[in-house]
């Protein structure tokens, strides 16, 4: 059975595995103090064109969101996010576990709007009762969003300006960052992401790595004793080399972007297949996650030969489904899919 | 420069890497629902001779302690531990981060004593003010301890009886479990560990894996919605296969125990080297961590050619140092060391 | 200047003060173990017609919400509340501070609807990803609501049935409970509240006491070691007598209900005044909080001689304002107000 | 039956009750914004000779410790305290509830020693693993201690210097502050307390008030948005006047110190009674808590006619007991006691 269930169904890109094998018996210090991690940080700093950035490697996305948000917020602050944001919905309360409220605003196709955020912030401070409320202390967005959509440069610049005006950080969840940047619709580079955000993370798990996310503090704003905070939240990896070696490989020879471009190419083909066969898009996603509206009957039929995700119910007779491509998607799978649907 | 700095200086045993490479492109579901994880659980259940055990794979040791302790305790309870226990000292407050107090008792060579724990529990309930105090809700021990020492079967049985009498779980931190069980001094098997504890974990990170610890609930006592709790604490790995494949390999063909036995053999050689050269043992450790008392001058001299850990100050002129062997220790390194010291 | 700013502008009803003075030098044990608290609990159990209820006295409303919600939820659960609920908005993140998410649903005039809650719960369990989400573990409503509105018996019965079907507690925040029950529009008694809820609290602070809220667990469902949990959350009052004596007095000779009825009588007069002068109601509240739409100019004019609350902006030229009566409202103040507006 | 069980057995000093009654119907804003609270703050600033101090009124002692410690510490820090400190033992884990570890040092008669603290701090920073440990971020002491003992000026000055050298605040828990300052053995004034500490609290509950503690930030160091933090921790009192009026009265006409002196006078008489009858002191306490060693038989005999606290077991045949006097202790009770013992 072929699977388009998600973008973490396979292991890692072969170059990463090869690097792990080749460096395996080199003795290194633990906890991110290894030479590979240091080189990977240098490499990333160069690629993102932000020589002063501080970079840390963490294992997974929810963990990264929990740590970044908890360490950058003051304890009386919450984080603004779209109601469909990963932190709002699918992290089992990880943000609240660390004591912070997620302040949800209604998203449009998964996106927040700078005017909307600005209005929220203004209203908050005008409210005579705001001292009895959770202070907004950060804006969280994902690029691409949970619906596969993208912010334009103009939209991101506006959000960035609003955050700076109010002196709160803009945090970009880049679990699928490469798939956003390599989209035909993107008008942003990774250097733009670094410039316009205060902190972001480069997702490795979904783009070629066994695990790993690279947190980037772009404005000399790494929280004090950040390593201790990572340890305190149970997230400090003993063999930091595992993350360092993988990111070093991903950020050598443009690999991260090539892998991302491959997923986009596969997604475009997949989308076209569905369109050609007359299926309805739920949303016109320009990235590696594609959403379609299928009849319940068709869903049941397809599930016999291909794995995909049920996103949500559309109406009594239809479902919204998600097909995801990735760095690992094989052309042969797309061809098989074309026969099935 | 050779290193005896710790037992996580190298990557993973080659068989684990091979298994990762060979299975790499098989598509699997995420979050521990992959086939490898399921097989690994079966295999472990068989090896520990506990067919009803529930097993979960986590990434690291502090994370595992934080999750096990937080999910098994009621919110008004704390965990009893030796003052030298990992949870008491070197987890940056991870237990307190999740709201629980570590109730420290004075350890002897890193160990708690059943009578001592029993007395503590009795005193607690006799204290008229105990409703204003943190209730002891679990006993945490490590096997081997942070000083490399081991509980005897008799000692462990007593602790187990005390815990059962008071209806609180006994939790064994097995970050280095194999190194304890394969010690010449051990009179326990992994099946004994499963039988005498209520929950324990099998350390992978320090015994041949890139990362990974296997939590074992031995008494039909997995906390409700445990996967959700793992997610909530930011610790649910997307590619659970990474852990499943490694543990499946470690628990096939006795590999885990062979790797452990190798480290013990290396440790015994290393210890003998130091004894032969007239160095003083700080503690007579029967496992892979060896502690010596060296003069400050000797420490400085050795540091030029070999890496090891400064444990603590012994007196103004001496340091306690730790040399650790592991599954990866090469005989040639022991030989080099013999020339150096 | 007269004030209708809120319902906690004065001290306590004179009978409560008298009781405090008269019992002042009687020596009592602390922490709620005093005789007055015990008698007050008996008295309340009788009035609410729930002989098996467990009752605890706490100091304030947010504190009560924080403790009740945190101790009744499992750690992986959140609390369902209207988006205008006190726990959702004006508690500075007290619920999240204790690790729980507030799962907000859109309220109608401050109220949740049983069908809406039922649908939410059904959708949650149908969602294939619900193990990665916060489990709904309680329904929180306020009676009267933050907009002064009331649930009918039928509405409350439906909510109660939905909660029981899903085996989650229904919690009623009764900060202004008396003002709800004594409203002309109420078709509920305090015994109904006890019967239909799993836990509720009787507000003292806003109805005649210096401070104090009485938490009532109605279904033999007080959380284990609840006193320890109160202490742990910093809320255990040393001189529990302060709360016991006041509640004993409030629940003797029908005082609590008489005081509540007085506030309603005053509110009705106040509302009529505004209606008579042609002002527009924002909401037709049947309880002690009255909401009007005033022009910005009128607001500024009134603020010179009377205190009231700005609720929110209605449009560029108008404000929603709140006038609150209470047990302490004097007829003379209503008369003065009639001259001012 | 007479009681020396504790120093919170009665209500409040009559002057405080009188003030509450007289001001009862004055309409005031809530949450500490009332005129009485403001005047009380001014009065305290004058008495402690610290015109720049920021003062906040809270309800109880554990609550105050929880809030002060949580808001003044960074999240990766813990608080140093004696093993017998209230925060270490009798707060049911309130400090850990807010995420912080209590770093206990062995106390001598309940006291920490400046050299000991200095050594601890130096060792911490010399430890190569300290980034994996809880950072010491505050020193907590109580004056008087839980054993009734007092720091001398010299001892306090040393602690103060050590804290300043390491740039961490010195926090004095003054639950019984007056009883310490009015002791014959004290060589400190309340102005000294303000000068030598960074934050302290003046206990009201145990010295004449129904409830209430006054937190004093002495070095322009009130945590940001402190009122919001109080609210977030469920501790913001709606009728702040209750605290304001009481502290205003206590700090007018020297009342706080007179009440304290009375308790000391009574304690001295009580202690002399026991000495005269040949009882053994457990500790020679110069304040209002007196500790004796009584045979089990004597304990049982006395318990029939007088209430007191069992502190802990001394040996199989003896108990350590505590007799507490207070602002409310009547001479006639001391006389009765002399006949009983």
Quickly count: other Cβ atoms within 10 Å of residue A157's Cβ: 16
Dihedral sign from CA coordinates of B305, B308, B312, B318? negative
Sequential pLDDT tens for chain D (341 residues): 899 999 999 999 999 999 999 999 999 999 999 999 999 999 999 999 999 999 999 999 999 999 999 999 999 999 999 999 999 999 999 999 999 999 999 999 999 999 999 999 999 999 999 999 999 999 999 999 999 999 999 999 999 999 999 999 999 999 999 999 999 999 999 999 999 999 999 999 999 999 999 999 999 999 999 999 999 999 999 999 999 999 999 999 999 999 999 999 999 999 999 999 999 999 999 999 999 999 999 999 999 999 999 998 899 999 999 999 999 999 999 999 999 98
Residue B23 neighbours by CB under 8 Å, 6+ apart: A11, B36, B241, B245
Nearest to D90 among B97, B101, B129 (CB): B129
pLDDT of residue B332: 96
When CB atoms are compared, the residue of D6, D30, D210 closest to C30 is D6
Cα–Cα distance for residue pair A268/A264, rounded to 1 Å:
6
Following DSSP, what letter does each residue of B89-104 receive, concatenated? HSSTTHHHHTT--EEE
Query: Which residues of chain A have a Cβ shorter than 8 Å from any chain D Cβ?
Result: 70-71, 74-76, 99, 131-133, 135, 224-225, 227-229, 231-232, 236
CA-based nearest residue to A327, from A258, A269, A273: A258
Query: In D, which residues are within 8 Å of C233 by CB distance?
Result: 94, 97, 234
Which positions of chain C have pLDDT values less than 70? none
Residue A341, pLDDT score: 87
Helix B241-250 with B14-22: angle, nearest 10 deg: 130
Per-position DSSP letters for B55-92, written without gaps between them: EEEES-HHHHHHHHHHHHS-TTEEEEEETTSHHHHSST
As given in the structure block, the two tokens for residue C254 are 């029908």
Tokens of A107: 């998203």
* DSSP code at position C279: P
Residues of B in contact with A12 (CB under 8 A): 20, 24
Cα of D247 to nearest chain B Cα, Å: 27
Q: State the pLDDT at residue D341.
A: 87
Q: What is the architecture of the domain spanning D2-7+256-340?
A: Alpha-Beta Complex (3.90)
User: Which chains would you list as touching C if contact means 3+ CB atom pairs under 8 Å?
Assistant: A, B, D
Q: Is the Cβ pair C232, D91 closer than 8 Å? A: yes
CA distance D282 to chain A (A): 41
For chain A, list residues with pLDDT below 70: none
Residue of chain C whose Cα is closest to the Cα of A312: C127
Nearest to C101 among A90, A93, A127 (CB): A93
Mean pLDDT of B160-184: 98
Contacts C60 to D, Cβ<8 Å: 234-238
Please provide the average confidence, as pLDDT, over all residues in chain B. 97
Of B14, B28, B239, the CB nearest to A205: B239
Q: Does domain B25-255 have CATH number 3.40.640.10?
A: yes
Pairing of strands D102-105, D77-82: parallel
Describe chain C by its helix, strand, coil percentages, rounded to 5: 40, 20, 40
pLDDT in tens, B200-247: 999 999 999 999 999 999 999 999 999 999 999 999 999 999 999 999
Beta-carbon separation of B211 and A2 below 8 A = no
CATH of domain C25-254: 3.40.640.10
**Could you say which of D131, D225, D236 has the minimum Cβ distance to residue A228?**
D131
pLDDT at position C114: 98
Interface pTM (ipTM) of the complex? Answer: 0.97
* Nearest chain D residue to C5, by CA: D29
Could you tell me the pTM of the whole model? 0.98
- Count of A-C CB contacts under 8 Å: 56
Q: Which CATH class is domain A14-253?
A: alpha beta
- Position C341 scores a pLDDT of 87
Under 8 Å between Cβ of C142 and C175: yes
From A100, which residue of chain C is nearest by alpha-carbon distance? C96
Q: Which of A132, A133, A224 sits opposite D74 (nearest CB)?
A: A224
Residue of C nearest to D232 (CA): C94
Classify domain D24-254 at the CATH class level.
alpha beta
Mean pLDDT over B285-303 rounds to 97
Q: Do D232 and A76 touch (CB under 8 A)?
A: yes
Looking at C143-279, which runs of residues are DSSP E strands? 170-174, 199-203, 213-217
Q: Is the CB of residue A190 less than 8 Å from the CB of residue A140? A: no
State whether B131 and C227 contact (CB < 8 Å): yes
Question: What ranges make up the beta strands (E) of C129-270?
Answer: 135-142, 170-174, 199-203, 213-217
CB-based contacts of D265, cutoff 8 Å, min separation 6: none
Q: How far apart are CA D264 and CA A8, in angstroms?
A: 71
- The answer to whether the beta carbons of residues B127 and B120 sit under 8 Å apart is no
What is d(CA C10, CA C262) in angstroms, rounded to the nearest whole number? 15
Q: What residues does each domain of chain C span? A: 2-7+256-340, 25-254
Residue contact C99–A93, C-beta within 8 A: yes
- Can you tell me the distance from the alpha carbon of C340 to that of C138, in angstroms, rounded to the nearest whole number? 45
- Confidence (pLDDT) at B196: 98
- Contacts of residue A113, defined as CB under 8 A and 6 or more positions apart, other chains included, come to A155, A158
Q: Which of B213, B162, B170, B190 is nearest to B8 (CA)?
A: B213
Task: Report the C-alpha gap between A88 and A78 in whole angstroms.
Answer: 12
Residues of A with Cβ-Cβ distance to D131 under 8 angstroms? 225, 227-228, 231
Predicted confidence at residue B341, as pLDDT, reads: 87
Contact flag C99-A96 (C-beta cutoff 8 Å): yes
CB contact under 8 A, D100 and B93: yes
């Amino acid at each position: 059975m072929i699977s388009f269930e998600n973008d973490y169904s396979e292991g890692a890109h072969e170059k990463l595995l090869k690097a792990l094998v080749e460096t395996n018996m080199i003795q290194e210090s633990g906890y991110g103090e290894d030479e590979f991690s240091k080189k990977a940080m240098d490499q990333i700093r160069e690629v993102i064109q932000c020589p002063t950035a501080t970079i840390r490697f963490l294992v997974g996305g929810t963990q990264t969101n929990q740590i970044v948000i908890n360490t950058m917020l003051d304890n009386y602050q919450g984080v603004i996010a779209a109601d469909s944001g990963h932190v709002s919905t699918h992290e089992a309360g990880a943000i609240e576990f660390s004591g912070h409220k997620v302040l949800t605003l209604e998203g449009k196709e998964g996106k927040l709007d700078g005017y909307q955020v600005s209005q929220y912030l203004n209203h908050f401070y005008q409210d005579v009762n705001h001292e009895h409320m959770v202070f907004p202390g950060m804006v969280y967005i994902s690029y691409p969003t949970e619906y596969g959509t993208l912010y334009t440069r103009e939209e991101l610049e506006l959000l960035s300006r609003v955050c700076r005006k109010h002196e709160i950080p803009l945090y970009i969840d880049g679990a699928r960052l490469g798939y956003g940047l390599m989209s035909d619709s993107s008008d942003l580079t990774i250097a733009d992401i670094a410039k316009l955000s205060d902190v972001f993370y480069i997702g490795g798990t979904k783009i070629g790595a066994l695990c790993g996310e690279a947190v980037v503090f772009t404005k000399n704003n790494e929280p004090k004793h950040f390593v201790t905070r990572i340890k305190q939240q149970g997230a400090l990896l003993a063999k930091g080399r595992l993350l360092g070696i993988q990111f070093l490989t991903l950020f050598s020879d443009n690999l991260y972007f090539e892998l991302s471009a491959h997923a986009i190419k596969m997604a475009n083909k997949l989308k076209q297949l569905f369109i050609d066969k007359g299926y309805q898009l739920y949303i016109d996603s320009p990235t590696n996650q594609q959403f379609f509206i299928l009849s319940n009957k068709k869903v049941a039929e397809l599930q016999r030969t291909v794995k995909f995700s049920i996103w949500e119910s559309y109406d009594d007779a239809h479902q919204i489904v998600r097909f995801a491509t990735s760095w690992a998607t094989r052309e042969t799978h797309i061809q098989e899919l074309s026969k099935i649907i």
